Amino acid sequence: MMIPSAIAVGVFAIVPLLGMFALSMTDFHLVKKWDHEFGFQNFIKLWNNKRFINSINVMLLLSVFGVIFQVALGTLIAVGLEKIIPKWRFMRGIFVIPFVVPAVAVALIWLSLLTPTLSPVNDFFDIFGITVPALLTSQYGAIAAIVMADTWASYPFVMLLILAALQGIPSDLDEAASIDGASKLQTFYKITLPLLAPALLMVSLFRFIETLKHFPLIHIMTTGGPGRSTQATNYYAYIQTFQNSNVSYGAAIAVFLFLFAAIISYYVARANARINDA
Residues found near other proteins in the complex (CB under 8 A): 16, 19-20, 22-23, 26, 28, 30-32, 34, 36, 114-118, 122, 131, 134, 136-139, 142, 219, 222-229, 238-239, 241-245, 247-248, 250-251, 254
End-to-end CA distance of the chain: 35
Q: How far is the CB of 241 from other proteins (least distance, A)?
A: 7
Nearest residue (CB) to other proteins, 61 versus 81: 61
Nearest residue (CB) to other proteins, 80 versus 226: 226
Query: In the 3-class helix/strand/coil scheme, how is the chain assigned residue by residue?
Result: CHHHHHHHHHHHHHHHHHHHHHHHCECCCCCCCCCCCECCHHHHHHHCCHHHHHHHHHHHHHHHHHHHHHHHHHHHHHHHHHHHCHHHHHHHHHHHHHHHCCHHHHHHHHHHHHCCCCCHHHHHHHHCCCCCCCHHHCHHHHHHHHHHHHHHHHHHHHHHHHHHHHHCCCHHHHHHHHHCCCCHHHHHHHHHHHHHHHHHHHHHHHHHHHHCCCCHHHHHHCCCCCCCCCCCHHHHHHHHHHHCCCHHHHHHHHHHHHHHHHHHHHHHHHHHHHHHHC
Nearest residue (CB) to other proteins, 24 versus 151: 24
d(CA 45, CA 51): 11
Nearest residue (CB) to other proteins, 22 versus 85: 22
Q: How far is the CB of 227 from other proteins (least distance, A)?
A: 3
d(CA 264, CA 122): 40
Nearest residue (CB) to other proteins, 41 versus 272: 41
Q: How far is the CB of 263 from other proteins (least distance, A)?
A: 22
Q: How far is the CB of 18 from other proteins (least distance, A)?
A: 9
Q: How far is the CB of 128 from other proteins (least distance, A)?
A: 14
Q: How far is the CB of 76 from other proteins (least distance, A)?
A: 31
Nearest residue (CB) to other proteins, 204 versus 245: 245
Radius of gyration of the chain (CA): 23
Nearest residue (CB) to other proteins, 23 versus 196: 23
Q: How far is the CB of 270 from other proteins (least distance, A)?
A: 29
